[in-house]
Structures are given as structure tokens and as C-alpha cells.
Chain A
Amino acid sequence: MAAKPKLYYFPGRGRMESIRWLLAAAGVEFEEELFETREQYEKVQKDGRLLFGQVPLVEIDGMALTQTRAILSYLAAKYDFYGKDLKERVRIDMYTDGTLDLMFPIMASPFQPPKEKEEGLASAVKKAKTRYFPVYEKILKNHGEDFLVGNKFSWADIQLLEAILMVEEMNASVLSDFPLLKAFKARISSIPTIKKFLQPGSQRKQPPDSHYVELVKNILQI
């Protein structure tokens, strides 16, 4: 029996959360080592499994994979979430790169000084409403299909849902002008594997709080 993928990260969302979403969407059980101390983290660093000294790290199929996008692309390809050909794949790449661009500043904001944090979050909500969500709304409108690419559930759909929920945590009405995204959100959320991930008790992590920020700062000595 194949070993379960094993995820090494801090006990929070950060850059590992998109990976958890993808595995969960694929119905793949995974293990996690969550760093609570600097010693735990240093042990993994010293083991030599972190190519650039950084997490996320995912052990899967005999590989020690680091770099978020490398891990996500591998999982998307492995679990058939990456379109049927190169032209579908490039669309998935464009859409997921867009949602990652939207999410990364939100992920980084808890670690910034209060003023930058507030500005960063406000900017992210604005970009969501004016630059990103209109694009996805239009894509859904143009083809009238249930999923973003190729009339089939893909990585692009998983990540868009993650991004929508993330922005909604900061501004609950952010989808008010986007009826198709609202329907999309309901539809994707009710896919059985996603539904399970969204329930309490899953491996989905909580939004970062001050305890989490302190923990990460201590471990990374920043």
C-alpha cells in the first residue's frame, strides 16, 4: 500500500493550505508534522530534505518536494486536476497564478506591522473585487459551464473557492456583485470531498491568530 503523503509545516494555513485543499479535494488522506518548536523545525532542516532550507515540504512518491507551486503542480497532474491538454493546462496555470497572487499578500499580512497589515488587507479586498473576481465571473458567464476549465473540476476551481472563502473572511459581502461566483461557491463547496474538508474536524487550518504569528516568528527567528 502506498504511503500517505506527509506534510511538514507550522500549525496554520500559510503556504501549505492550498496543498491541503488539493489533497483533500482529491480524496487523498495525508499525514502532517506540525512544528510547535524551533527544535522540530531545525531537525527537518538539518536532515537535508529542504532543498532551499524552507517549508512547505511534502514527502510523496519517494520525493521530498519543496516550493509551493512545484508541489501544487505535481498534485494537480497526479490527481487529474490539470486539464486534458496543454491549452487547458495553460488556462489553469493562468487562473491559479492569479488566485495565488491574490492570496499571498493576505497570507503575509499577519506578519507585517499593523499599518502595513491593514493596508495590505484593504488592497487585497479591492483587488479581489476589481481585478480578480470580475475575471472569473466573466469566464463562467462566457461558457456557462459549472467549472472554470474544460467543463471538468480542476485545480483552478479548488483554488478559486479557497480564495473566495479567504477574502470573505475579511469582507463577508465581497461576492455581492458576482452572482455566478456565488453559485460557483455553493456548487464547489458541495462536492463531497470538499464538503468534508469544510467541516469541523478536517485538516483545514484556522485563519492565523496572534498565537500562530508568534509561534512562526519564534521558529523562523524573524
Chain B
Amino acid sequence: MMAEKPKLHYFNGRGRMESIRWLLAAAGVEFEEKFLKSAEDLDKLRTDGSLMFQQVPMVEIDGMKLVQTKAILNYIASKYNLYGKDIKERALIDMYIEGMADLKEMIIPLFKTPPDQKDAKVALIKERTTNRYFPAFEKVLKSHGQDYLVGNRLSRADIHLVELLYEVEELDPNIIANFPLLKALKTRISNLPTVKKFLQPGSQRKPPANMKTTEEVRKIFKF
């Protein structure tokens, strides 16, 4: 019997589900998506009892309905061997990805930021990226000179970082200019067959939020 594909429940946009899409795609795992299109769709999931804390993302996988982005990502990374070889490697991976998540947390709500506050937020994101986060990861790569962040082997840390590199470049195309090792990592990971495929048009990768996405999300989540 063929295993069922994981099924992702979210709206048709990046938000907190995008990292999950990247990780599954990079692991070569096919997945289905059920998009929330209205407030009623979200209500139905809630009244069904499908959402432990009444929130999405929710991923149906291996007979479970998983919620909480980090829990979902941890599960997928472990299942597909992208989480290091022991608890020490895992601790390093966790430290790196938590930093990336902090930066991502600043980017995710940009789509709903009022125009008069947006410039300031983008400026802060760029400042943190260039002064706090990118130097840290560049230094890690420099310290061991290996092709991957942890354990000389592809892990979720590399995938999450490359996702972030693409997103920050959308805000400032030159932001990666002074980080040669990050540039090289981005190229290397982008050339992995599964990632390459995900980066091509027609994949399940989502575009940046536009006005239409913002309106749709407002309707669904009622804000």
C-alpha cells in the first residue's frame, strides 16, 4: 500500500507554511495542499477538532494532524534525516534555525503592515540581517570550511537558510553581496535536484504576498 502524501492546510500564500513546503520539497516528498479560502473554511477545521490550538498551519501526516510550525518542521526533519546525526549536531542545527526563525518572524507580517510603517520595518530587517544574522552564518561556514552548516552534510539548517536568503533578497537584491560563503551555499543548495525543481515555475513554492493575498488572509482570519 502506498503511503498517503502529507496534506498541508493553510491559505494560498507563504506565511508560516512556506518553510514546511521548502523542507518537504527539499526532502523530495510529494505533498498535497488544501487551501483555506474563507473564514468558513477555517471555522470548519476548528469545529472538526482538527486544529489542536485552533490555529494553522496544520499538516496531516502519518495518521496525525500536526500543528505548531516548529513541531511540524522538527518531525519532518527527523523523519527525512535532515536533523543531524546526534543530539549535539541537533543542538547546533536548532541554534542556527532558531536565529533564522527570529528573522523570519520579522518578515512574515510585512504583508499586513500598513504602508506608513513598512519602510521602518524593512529597514530593521535589513539591519538585523546584515549585522546580526548573516555574519553569524558566514562565520560558521568560514570556521569549518565545509559545504554545509552542520556535520559536513545537508541538513534542514541549510534549507531554511537558503529559503531565508531568497526572501531577504526580495527586499534587497544586494544584501548578500558581502557574504561570499552564503552566496556559495545558496548556489550549491539551489542546484540540488529537489531544490532546483522547487525553485522552478509550476512548483508548490508560493510567491510573495500581494494585495489579493492580503485581502484573502484578512477575510479568513478576520483582522
A interface residues with partner B (beta carbon < 8 Å): 51-53, 61, 63, 65-71, 73-74, 77-78, 86-87, 89-90, 93-94, 97-98, 101, 131-132, 135
Contact = CB atoms under 8 A, between A and B. Distances in A.
Interface residues of B, number: 28
Given A70-B98, A78-B87, A135-B52, 4 more contacts: A69-B98, A90-B64, A93-B71, A97-B70
Tell me what chain B mostly uses at the interface: helix, strand, loop, or mixed. Answer: helix
Interface stretch (B31-39, B74-82, B119-127): B74-82
B90 A77 contact: yes
Contacts of B147: none
Tell me what chain A mostly uses at the interface: helix, strand, loop, or mixed. Answer: helix
A97 B53 CA distance: 10
Contacts of A61: 88
B175 to A, nearest CB: 17
Nearest to B87: A77
B171 interface: no
29 contacts: A51-B95, A52-B133, A52-B136, A63-B92, A65-B95, A67-B94, A67-B95, A69-B98, A70-B91, A73-B94, A74-B87, A74-B90, A74-B94, A78-B87, A89-B74, A89-B75, A90-B66, A90-B74, A93-B71, A93-B74, A94-B66, A94-B68, A97-B68, A97-B71, A101-B53, A101-B68, A132-B53, A135-B52, A135-B53
Given A73-B91, A94-B71, A87 B79 contact: no
Interface string B89-131: 0111011101100100000000000000000000000000000
**Which 9 pairs from chain A and chain B are nearest by CB?**
A70-B94, A93-B71, A67-B98, A97-B68, A70-B95, A74-B91, A94-B71, A90-B75, A77-B87
Interface string B132-173: 110010000000000000000000000000000000000000
Given A90-B74, A101-B53, A51 B99 contact: yes
Contacts of A51: 95-96, 99, 136
B67 interface: yes
Contact of A131 (B53, B62, B64): B53
Contacts of B75: 86, 89-90, 93
B187 interface: no
